[in-house]
Amino acid sequence: MMPNPNSFNNGNLAVEARNMHVYYGNFRAVKDISLKVKRNAITAFIGPSGCGKSTVLRSFNRMNDLVTTARVEGEILYHGNNIYDNDVDPVEIRRRIGMVFQKPNPFPKSIYENVAWGARINGYKGDMDELVESSLRQAALWDEVKDKLNESGYSLSGGQQQRLCIARTVAVKPDIILMDEPTSALDPVATLRIEELIQDLKEKYTIIIVTHNMQQAARASDYTAFFNMDRDRAGYLVEYDRTPDIFTTPQNELTEQYITGRFG
């Protein structure tokens, strides 16, 4: 049986938020988030719109730094260090904690260059052809694109584009992959392919996925965190547990209402 989140320790911990608050200007968007994410597992963040799940996700690789008014209080511990410490390079953090977005966003370049790009700017010295192939294979895209690597990334279907973005992310060899509603722009078949893919990816990476689709969280994740928006409009963590427990016997009445579709 999968360990309970309360028992995660240094041996299996990927990243941990401790008493984290995120502000946009004076507005507190999320409050007092404490959450341990297990290594080589898939953790889903679910909750109604505005509950702060994407904000929490983005704070795990300092993506919120890009919003000038954003401010993070508390700690995000990664390998024992707070990623918000002054001496931490956010670019290095984002290399090790990669991100895949809601809408596939390939660069206006060839399929090959889309994958090679991140490695190139990081000064990758190895065999680039090999890296591109292995990344595309990990993203379950190689067989579909191996004969047209020089074609534009835009020539691919939406689902293929998203897998291309996943290949681009794994090419820089991250530890953790953050996914912000990665299938919400995809049809059901492409969605299931991505879900299958992340099952394979967790062998090598830790995955955190924000999804509006509860069935997706139930199908594809090992752990589920349910967030809600409080009266002061700040998002907070309601319940966090093994996915089978959340979807069969949630402990919190709000979780029950949300996942049974009787919320609000």
259 scored as a contact of other proteins (CB under 8 A): yes
Count of chain residues binding other proteins (CB under 8 A): 17
263 scored as a contact of other proteins (CB under 8 A): yes
Q: Tell me which residues in 177-236 interact with other proteins (CB under 8 A).
A: 214-215, 218
Q: Which is nearer to other proteins, 19 or 249 (CB)?
A: 249
DSSP characters over 50-104: TSSHHHHHHHTTTGGGGSTTEEEEEEEEETTEETTSTT--HHHHHHHEEEE-SS-
Q: Which stretch binds other proteins (CB under 8 A): 83-91, 157-165, 176-184, 244-252?
A: 244-252
Q: Which is nearer to other proteins, 231 or 262 (CB)?
A: 262
Q: Which is nearer to other proteins, 6 or 86 (CB)?
A: 6
Q: Which stretch binds other proteins (CB under 8 A): 96-104, 137-145, 174-182, 254-262?
A: 254-262
55 scored as a contact of other proteins (CB under 8 A): no
Least Å from the CB of residue 250 to other proteins: 5
Q: Which stretch binds other proteins (CB under 8 A): 72-80, 111-119, 129-137, 245-253?
A: 245-253
**Position among 112, 226, 227, 247 found at the interface with other proteins (CB under 8 A):** 247
DSSP characters over the chain: -PPPGGG--TTTEEEEEEEEEEEETTEEEEEEEEEEEETTSEEEEE-STTSSHHHHHHHTTTGGGGSTTEEEEEEEEETTEETTSTT--HHHHHHHEEEE-SS----SSBHHHHHHHHHHHTT--S-HHHHHHHHHHHTT-HHHHTT-TTSBGGGS-HHHHHHHHHHHHHHT--SEEEEESTTTTS-HHHHHHHHHHHHHHTTTSEEEEE-S-HHHHHHH-SEEEEEEE-TTS-EEEEEEEEHHHHHH--SSHHHHHHHTT---
From residue 3 to residue 32, what is the string marking binding to other proteins with x (rule CB under 8 A)?
-x----------------------------
Least Å from the CB of residue 149 to other proteins: 40
Least Å from the CB of residue 38 to other proteins: 17
Q: Which is nearer to other proteins, 95 or 212 (CB)?
A: 212
Q: Which stretch binds other proteins (CB under 8 A): 112-120, 139-147, 199-207, 253-261?
A: 253-261
51 scored as a contact of other proteins (CB under 8 A): no
Q: How far is CA 216 from CA 12, 50, 191, 206, in A?
A: 24, 19, 9, 17
250 scored as a contact of other proteins (CB under 8 A): yes
Tell me how far apart the alpha carbons of residues 152 and 111 are, in angstroms, rounded to a whole number: 6
Residues contributing to the site for other proteins (CB under 8 A):
4, 214-215, 218, 245, 247-250, 255-256, 259-264
